Amino acid sequence: MVTELLAPAALTALLEDPGVTDVLVNGPDAVWIDGAGGLRRVAVHLGDGAAVRSLAVRLAAQGGRRLDDSSPMVDVHLPGGVRMHAVVPPVAPGGPLISFRIFRRQALALDEMAAQGTVSAAGAAVLRALVEARTNLMVSGATGAGKTTLLSALVSLVSPVERIVVIEEAQEIITSHPHCVRLEARNSNAEGTGSVTLTDLVHESLRMRPDRIILGECRGREVREVLTALNTGHEGSAATIHANSCRDVPARLVALGSLAAMDGRTVAVQAAAALAGVIHLERAQGGPRRVAELAAFELIEGDLVARTALTFRPDGLTEGPGWPALERRLEQA
């Protein structure tokens, strides 16, 4: 476990706290945590700047990476389900900065998310129906909104007779599904060779007889392979994507497509054919994470548009103009 390498014990306790999702070290006496109660400062003292830097360097080495003046930034996944990002001077002139993201070690079921208020019972029923109907979905939201947690819960709903291939940069999706196999990307070595990208893995997954393909995060040129895969019979697949709202997802897909030399029209046509809709999560300032909206993708005058299908509220659902398209899909399943 990564926490066995850490000192003082107070920092170890924060990383092991099941209610904490992020630990942010802004300095030896400036430690913040995030979780169900929102972002708040805690009374943890790490000595001095040299001690903070030493901690970051040691953990970077544990993850097989280097952190020094010539390589002052690192993002590394550590044992125990922790991702660490660190920046040291001269890039961080005020002193070393460390950000820890702690990933859930056990799958959170959709019913549990409903009990916590992340989604209403009616909303959970719709999401379950979308999975059972084998709709291709995107899960969108900002960093820390709960995209991976929701995607993990949806994957666990898939029928056990189906084979799922999960593709990630590092293991973050936790699922109880009995036939789930994993592929993980690999960074290049010190000589700059040996990298295996998400694009490579999506391409390889097609040879593995998947029923559904799950991409932990779509954020680069792998979008081309993802859209191709979802247009070739792998129904019920899904991925997360960073976006501020459902209506921003089409523009985000077009921007990612440009990295793979795809023009906007091609992305729009491919996405409209491949994807049924997008589930958006949001988090109010200092408040809980929640499913906010479900939108349907449509091609309108050559442009990809996400039209609101359902607005999720604590007391129920409100239908929008995009609902008839998704409702027809559910009725056909």
Per-residue pLDDT of the chain (333 residues; tens, 9 = 90+): 454 555 567 788 888 888 888 999 999 999 999 887 788 999 999 999 999 999 999 888 887 788 998 889 998 888 777 889 999 999 999 999 999 988 766 778 999 999 988 999 999 999 999 999 999 999 999 988 889 999 999 999 999 999 999 999 888 898 989 999 999 988 766 566 778 999 999 999 999 999 999 999 999 999 999 999 999 889 999 999 999 999 999 999 999 999 999 999 999 999 999 999 999 999 876 567 899 999 999 999 999 999 999 999 988 899 999 999 999 988 876
Cα angle 246, 294, 219; round to 5: 45
Q: Whole-angstrom Cα distance, residue 181 to residue 163?
A: 8
Phi, psi of 89 (to 5 degrees): -55, 150
- Beta strand 164-168 with 212-215 is parallel
CATH 1.10.10.60 fits 110-332, yes or no: no
Taking the model in full, what pTM does it have?
0.84
Long-range own/partner contacts, residues 255-260 (CB < 8 A, 24 or more apart) = 256/218, 256/219, 256/220, 256/221, 256/223, 257/223, 257/224, 259/220, 259/221, 259/223, 260/199, 260/221, 260/222, 260/223, 260/224
Q: Which of 285, 304, 286 lies closest to 295 in space, CA to CA?
A: 304
Q: How far apart are the first and last CA of the chain?
A: 44
**Architecture per CATH, 2-102:** 2-Layer Sandwich (3.30)
Q: Where are the domains of the chain?
A: 2-102, 110-332
pLDDT at 253: 97
